[in-house]
A = this chain, B = another copy of it.
Amino acid sequence: MQTTRRCALLRELGLTPTVQRLAVLEFLEGTSRHPTADIVLAEIQKRHPTISRATVYNTLDALTKAGVILRITIDPAVTRYDADLKPHAHFRCRTCGAVYDIRLERENTLGDVFQGHRIETVRTYAYGVCLQCLRKEGIASA
């Protein structure tokens, strides 16, 4: 129950802490499944049936711009979101599409500047086949 803290956080960022925004933030902080906007919408609607798709997109955009959550473009078809700000990479299974975290030993850095371009953020995406799908493959081909 850190609603108070989340309220304060949103206020600091200049965002009115509405029920909808708090719900989105709370959901993202409580999951490690890297949900899409659609999944966020479906989840929040369980408790707040009137929340609209537009509000979810607005909120995800506002939180991303404020730096409270990360926008993940590992998947060509949909954007995913992550409230875990600790440096880590992401892995996507090309069979089932699931996205997992990969701990990094040292933060991935390319330096602050490259050929005059100012680098602000670095993301690492890995692709392959996840453990579950490898097992199914093994069974299928056995």
Interface residues of A (CB under 8 A from B): 71, 73-76, 79, 89, 91, 93-94, 100, 102, 108, 110, 114-131, 134
Contacts A89-B110, A102-B110 given; does A127 touch B121 at CB 8 Å: yes
**B128 and A125 contacting across the interface, CB-CB below 8 Å:** no
Return A65 CB to nearest CB of chain B, in Å: 11
From A91, A118, A125, residue with most partner B Cβ within 10 Å: A118
Copies of this chain: 2
A136 to B102, CA, bound (A): 38
**B123 and A124 contacting across the interface, CB-CB below 8 Å:** yes
Return A9 CB to nearest CB of chain B, in Å: 23
**B91 and A119 contacting across the interface, CB-CB below 8 Å:** yes
A117 to B114, CA, bound (A): 32
A120's partner among B116, B121, B129 (CB-CB below 8 A) is B129
Q: Which residue in chain B gives the minimum CB-CB distance to A110?
A: B126
Not counting A115-B131, A118-B130, A118-B134, a sample of 16 additional A-B residue pairs whose C-beta atoms are within 8 angstroms of each other reads: A73-B74, A93-B117, A108-B108, A117-B128, A117-B131, A118-B129, A121-B126, A121-B127, A122-B124, A122-B125, A122-B127, A123-B124, A123-B125, A123-B126, A124-B124, A124-B125
